[in-house]
Chain A
Protein backbone atom coordinates (compact mmCIF):
# COMPACT_ATOMS: atom_id res chain seq x y z
CA UNK A 1 0.00 0.00 0.00
CA UNK A 2 1.20 3.46 -0.81
CA UNK A 3 1.62 5.62 2.28
CA UNK A 4 1.67 8.81 0.26
CA UNK A 5 -1.33 8.69 -2.04
CA UNK A 6 -1.34 10.12 -5.54
CA UNK A 7 -2.58 13.43 -4.18
CA UNK A 8 0.88 14.43 -3.00
CA UNK A 9 2.37 13.79 -6.46
CA UNK A 10 -0.40 15.87 -8.00
CA UNK A 11 0.21 18.69 -5.55
CA UNK A 12 3.94 18.49 -6.23
CA UNK A 13 3.36 18.83 -9.98
CA UNK A 14 1.03 21.76 -9.39
CA UNK A 15 3.63 23.48 -7.18
CA UNK A 16 6.20 23.06 -9.97
CA UNK A 17 3.75 24.57 -12.40
CA UNK A 18 2.99 27.51 -10.09
CA UNK A 19 6.67 28.32 -9.50
CA UNK A 20 7.43 28.09 -13.23
CA UNK A 21 4.53 30.42 -13.87
CA UNK A 22 5.85 32.84 -11.23
CA UNK A 23 9.22 32.90 -12.98
CA UNK A 24 7.63 33.62 -16.34
CA UNK A 25 5.37 36.38 -14.97
CA UNK A 26 8.34 38.01 -13.18
CA UNK A 27 10.23 37.97 -16.46
CA UNK A 28 7.31 39.54 -18.32
CA UNK A 29 7.01 42.32 -15.74
CA UNK A 30 10.78 42.87 -15.84
CA UNK A 31 10.57 43.38 -19.62
CA UNK A 32 7.54 45.66 -19.59
CA UNK A 33 9.57 48.52 -21.17
CA UNK A 34 11.78 46.45 -23.46
CA UNK A 35 11.19 47.16 -27.16
CA UNK A 36 10.28 44.09 -29.19
CA UNK A 37 9.76 41.81 -26.20
CA UNK A 38 6.94 39.27 -26.57
CA UNK A 39 4.92 37.91 -23.64
CA UNK A 40 5.59 34.37 -22.47
CA UNK A 41 3.04 32.07 -20.89
CA UNK A 42 3.11 28.65 -19.25
CA UNK A 43 0.69 26.04 -20.57
CA UNK A 44 0.07 22.49 -19.57
CA UNK A 45 2.15 20.53 -22.00
CA UNK A 46 0.03 17.38 -21.97
CA UNK A 47 -3.06 19.30 -23.01
CA UNK A 48 -0.96 21.15 -25.57
CA UNK A 49 0.54 17.96 -26.97
CA UNK A 50 -2.82 16.23 -27.10
CA UNK A 51 -4.21 19.13 -29.10
CA UNK A 52 -1.16 18.97 -31.32
CA UNK A 53 -1.44 15.21 -31.82
CA UNK A 54 -5.10 15.38 -32.80
CA UNK A 55 -4.29 17.60 -35.74
CA UNK A 56 -0.73 16.51 -36.39
CA UNK A 57 0.09 12.81 -36.42
CA UNK A 58 3.35 11.64 -37.93
CA UNK A 59 2.98 8.61 -40.19
CA UNK A 60 5.13 5.78 -38.85
CA UNK A 61 5.75 2.80 -41.10
CA UNK A 62 8.35 1.51 -38.65
CA UNK A 63 8.09 1.48 -34.85
CA UNK A 64 11.57 3.03 -34.66
CA UNK A 65 10.47 6.14 -36.52
CA UNK A 66 10.58 9.28 -34.42
CA UNK A 67 7.15 10.87 -33.78
CA UNK A 68 6.67 14.62 -34.09
CA UNK A 69 6.44 15.45 -30.44
CA UNK A 70 8.85 13.82 -28.09
CA UNK A 71 7.79 14.95 -24.69
CA UNK A 72 9.70 14.40 -21.54
CA UNK A 73 7.30 13.21 -18.86
CA UNK A 74 9.15 15.09 -16.10
CA UNK A 75 7.81 18.38 -17.34
CA UNK A 76 4.06 18.48 -17.85
CA UNK A 77 4.07 22.15 -18.81
CA UNK A 78 5.79 24.25 -21.41
CA UNK A 79 6.63 27.91 -21.97
CA UNK A 80 5.14 29.48 -25.08
CA UNK A 81 5.68 32.95 -26.54
CA UNK A 82 2.72 34.98 -27.75
CA UNK A 83 4.00 36.34 -31.05
CA UNK A 84 0.85 37.52 -32.76
CA UNK A 85 -0.20 40.57 -30.73
CA UNK A 86 1.17 44.08 -30.15
CA UNK A 87 0.00 46.48 -27.46
CA UNK A 88 2.72 49.12 -27.73
CA UNK A 89 4.18 51.02 -30.64
CA UNK A 90 7.60 49.49 -29.91
CA UNK A 91 6.58 45.88 -30.62
CA UNK A 92 6.20 44.98 -26.95
CA UNK A 93 3.03 43.08 -26.09
CA UNK A 94 3.20 42.84 -22.27
CA UNK A 95 -0.24 43.64 -20.83
CA UNK A 96 0.78 44.85 -17.37
CA UNK A 97 -2.76 44.64 -15.93
CA UNK A 98 -3.04 41.03 -17.01
CA UNK A 99 0.41 40.17 -15.67
CA UNK A 100 -0.30 41.72 -12.25
CA UNK A 101 -3.63 39.88 -12.04
CA UNK A 102 -1.97 36.61 -12.99
CA UNK A 103 0.72 37.26 -10.40
CA UNK A 104 -1.87 37.72 -7.61
CA UNK A 105 -3.82 34.67 -8.76
CA UNK A 106 -0.72 32.53 -8.94
CA UNK A 107 0.35 33.57 -5.45
CA UNK A 108 -3.00 32.56 -3.94
CA UNK A 109 -2.95 29.34 -5.95
CA UNK A 110 0.52 28.51 -4.61
CA UNK A 111 -0.45 29.25 -1.00
CA UNK A 112 -3.57 27.12 -1.24
CA UNK A 113 -1.49 24.26 -2.66
CA UNK A 114 0.95 24.49 0.25
CA UNK A 115 -1.95 24.58 2.71
CA UNK A 116 -3.46 21.49 1.12
CA UNK A 117 -0.12 19.71 1.20
CA UNK A 118 0.28 20.53 4.88
CA UNK A 119 -3.28 19.31 5.52
CA UNK A 120 -2.33 16.04 3.85
CA UNK A 121 0.75 15.68 6.09
CA UNK A 122 -1.30 16.52 9.18
CA UNK A 123 -3.77 13.77 8.29
CA UNK A 124 -0.89 11.31 7.99
CA UNK A 125 0.51 12.52 11.31
CA UNK A 126 -2.85 11.93 12.95
CA UNK A 127 -2.95 8.40 11.57
CA UNK A 128 0.64 7.68 12.66
CA UNK A 129 -0.08 8.86 16.19
CA UNK A 130 -3.22 6.75 16.26
CA UNK A 131 -5.54 9.68 16.63
CA UNK A 132 -3.92 10.86 19.84
Chain B
Protein backbone atom coordinates (compact mmCIF):
# COMPACT_ATOMS: atom_id res chain seq x y z
CA UNK B 1 0.00 0.00 0.00
CA UNK B 2 1.41 3.32 -1.05
CA UNK B 3 2.26 6.07 1.41
CA UNK B 4 0.50 8.56 -0.85
CA UNK B 5 -2.78 6.64 -0.94
CA UNK B 6 -4.80 9.32 0.88
CA UNK B 7 -3.24 12.10 -1.20
CA UNK B 8 -4.05 10.27 -4.44
CA UNK B 9 -7.63 9.82 -3.24
CA UNK B 10 -8.04 13.54 -2.60
CA UNK B 11 -6.29 14.29 -5.90
CA UNK B 12 -8.80 12.20 -7.85
CA UNK B 13 -11.61 14.13 -6.17
CA UNK B 14 -10.01 17.47 -7.09
CA UNK B 15 -9.84 16.34 -10.72
CA UNK B 16 -13.49 15.26 -10.67
CA UNK B 17 -14.70 18.50 -9.07
CA UNK B 18 -12.64 20.54 -11.55
CA UNK B 19 -14.33 18.72 -14.44
CA UNK B 20 -17.72 19.37 -12.84
CA UNK B 21 -16.82 23.04 -12.66
CA UNK B 22 -15.88 23.01 -16.39
CA UNK B 23 -19.20 21.41 -17.30
CA UNK B 24 -21.14 23.98 -15.25
CA UNK B 25 -19.19 26.79 -16.93
CA UNK B 26 -19.97 25.30 -20.33
CA UNK B 27 -23.69 25.16 -19.44
CA UNK B 28 -23.75 28.81 -18.36
CA UNK B 29 -21.75 29.88 -21.41
CA UNK B 30 -24.21 28.13 -23.72
CA UNK B 31 -27.39 29.28 -21.97
CA UNK B 32 -28.44 31.15 -25.14
CA UNK B 33 -26.98 28.83 -27.79
CA UNK B 34 -29.68 27.84 -30.29
CA UNK B 35 -27.38 26.17 -32.82
CA UNK B 36 -25.45 23.54 -30.84
CA UNK B 37 -26.05 20.61 -33.22
CA UNK B 38 -27.91 19.64 -36.37
CA UNK B 39 -30.57 16.93 -36.12
CA UNK B 40 -31.48 14.31 -38.74
CA UNK B 41 -33.93 16.71 -40.49
CA UNK B 42 -31.11 19.17 -41.10
CA UNK B 43 -32.46 21.64 -38.55
CA UNK B 44 -30.50 23.34 -35.80
CA UNK B 45 -30.95 22.00 -32.26
CA UNK B 46 -30.38 24.12 -29.16
CA UNK B 47 -27.74 23.24 -26.58
CA UNK B 48 -28.66 20.52 -24.09
CA UNK B 49 -27.64 20.94 -20.46
CA UNK B 50 -24.81 18.54 -19.53
CA UNK B 51 -24.34 16.74 -16.21
CA UNK B 52 -21.43 14.87 -14.69
CA UNK B 53 -21.95 11.32 -13.37
CA UNK B 54 -19.53 10.32 -10.62
CA UNK B 55 -18.84 6.91 -9.13
CA UNK B 56 -16.47 5.66 -6.42
CA UNK B 57 -13.20 4.22 -7.73
CA UNK B 58 -12.47 0.62 -6.88
CA UNK B 59 -16.11 -0.37 -6.35
CA UNK B 60 -16.91 -1.47 -9.88
CA UNK B 61 -17.33 -5.13 -10.81
CA UNK B 62 -14.05 -4.94 -12.74
CA UNK B 63 -12.02 -3.86 -9.73
CA UNK B 64 -13.62 -6.49 -7.47
CA UNK B 65 -12.72 -9.12 -10.07
CA UNK B 66 -9.15 -7.82 -10.19
CA UNK B 67 -8.94 -7.95 -6.41
CA UNK B 68 -10.22 -11.53 -6.41
CA UNK B 69 -7.91 -12.77 -9.16
CA UNK B 70 -4.72 -10.99 -8.13
CA UNK B 71 -5.45 -11.51 -4.43
CA UNK B 72 -3.33 -8.43 -3.69
CA UNK B 73 -5.31 -5.68 -1.99
CA UNK B 74 -4.52 -3.09 -4.62
CA UNK B 75 -7.94 -1.46 -4.42
CA UNK B 76 -7.54 2.08 -5.62
CA UNK B 77 -9.84 4.50 -3.86
CA UNK B 78 -11.19 7.89 -4.69
CA UNK B 79 -13.75 9.09 -7.16
CA UNK B 80 -13.98 9.15 -10.93
CA UNK B 81 -16.26 10.66 -13.53
CA UNK B 82 -17.89 7.76 -15.35
CA UNK B 83 -19.73 9.81 -17.98
CA UNK B 84 -21.16 13.17 -18.95
CA UNK B 85 -24.87 12.86 -19.67
CA UNK B 86 -27.30 15.26 -21.31
CA UNK B 87 -30.41 16.55 -19.58
CA UNK B 88 -33.42 15.22 -21.52
CA UNK B 89 -35.94 17.77 -20.22
CA UNK B 90 -37.75 19.63 -23.05
CA UNK B 91 -36.35 22.88 -24.43
CA UNK B 92 -37.79 26.18 -23.33
CA UNK B 93 -40.05 27.77 -25.95
CA UNK B 94 -39.85 31.55 -26.23
CA UNK B 95 -41.95 33.78 -28.48
CA UNK B 96 -39.48 35.85 -30.51
CA UNK B 97 -40.50 36.18 -34.20
CA UNK B 98 -37.40 38.24 -35.07
CA UNK B 99 -35.02 35.46 -34.07
CA UNK B 100 -33.30 33.75 -37.06
CA UNK B 101 -34.20 30.31 -35.65
CA UNK B 102 -37.87 31.09 -35.00
CA UNK B 103 -40.42 28.67 -36.52
CA UNK B 104 -43.45 29.72 -38.62
CA UNK B 105 -45.47 30.56 -35.50
CA UNK B 106 -42.66 32.80 -34.22
CA UNK B 107 -41.45 30.54 -31.38
CA UNK B 108 -37.78 29.74 -30.70
CA UNK B 109 -36.48 26.69 -28.85
CA UNK B 110 -33.97 27.80 -26.21
CA UNK B 111 -31.53 25.52 -24.29
CA UNK B 112 -32.86 23.71 -21.20
CA UNK B 113 -30.25 25.42 -19.02
CA UNK B 114 -31.53 26.93 -15.78
CA UNK B 115 -28.97 29.53 -14.57
CA UNK B 116 -30.19 29.16 -10.97
CA UNK B 117 -29.54 25.42 -11.01
CA UNK B 118 -26.10 26.03 -12.50
CA UNK B 119 -25.15 28.59 -9.84
CA UNK B 120 -26.19 26.22 -7.04
CA UNK B 121 -24.16 23.46 -8.68
CA UNK B 122 -21.21 25.83 -8.99
CA UNK B 123 -21.30 26.67 -5.28
CA UNK B 124 -21.62 23.02 -4.31
CA UNK B 125 -18.60 22.23 -6.51
CA UNK B 126 -16.53 25.01 -4.94
CA UNK B 127 -17.29 23.79 -1.42
CA UNK B 128 -16.47 20.18 -2.28
CA UNK B 129 -13.21 21.31 -3.85
CA UNK B 130 -12.30 23.23 -0.68
CA UNK B 131 -13.16 20.25 1.54
CA UNK B 132 -10.87 18.06 -0.54
CA UNK B 133 -8.05 20.62 -0.34
CA UNK B 134 -8.40 20.55 3.47
CA UNK B 135 -8.28 16.77 3.43
CA UNK B 136 -5.20 16.84 1.19
CA UNK B 137 -3.44 19.29 3.52
CA UNK B 138 -4.27 17.07 6.51
CA UNK B 139 -2.72 14.05 4.80
CA UNK B 140 0.31 16.11 3.82
CA UNK B 141 0.82 17.36 7.39
CA UNK B 142 0.57 13.80 8.70
CA UNK B 143 3.24 12.62 6.27
CA UNK B 144 5.49 15.55 7.20
CA UNK B 145 4.97 14.69 10.88
CA UNK B 146 5.84 11.06 10.21
CA UNK B 147 9.20 12.21 8.85
CA UNK B 148 9.93 13.67 12.28
CA UNK B 149 9.81 10.26 13.98
CA UNK B 150 13.16 9.55 15.60
CA UNK B 151 14.54 13.01 14.94
Enumerate chain A interface residues (CB-CB to B < 8 A). 15, 18-19, 22-23, 25-27, 29-35, 37, 96, 99-100, 103-104, 106-107, 110-111, 114, 117-118, 121
Contacts and interface: CB of A to CB of B under 8 A. Distances in A.
A18 B20 CA distance: 31
Interface of B: 5-7, 9-10, 12-13, 16-17, 20, 53-56, 77-79, 124, 128, 131-132, 134-136, 138-139, 141-142, 145-146, 148-151
Contacts of A100: 131, 134
25 contacts: A19-B142, A22-B138, A23-B9, A26-B139, A27-B56, A27-B78, A29-B10, A29-B131, A29-B134, A29-B135, A30-B79, A30-B132, A30-B135, A31-B54, A31-B79, A33-B20, A33-B79, A34-B55, A35-B54, A103-B134, A106-B138, A111-B141, A111-B142, A114-B149, A118-B148
A117 B147 CA distance: 12
B9 A30 contact: yes
Contacts of A118: 148-151
B78 A114 contact: no
A110 B78 contact: no
Contacts of B56: 27, 31, 34, 37
| Max chain B C-beta neighbours (<10 A), residue from A19, A33, A37 | A33
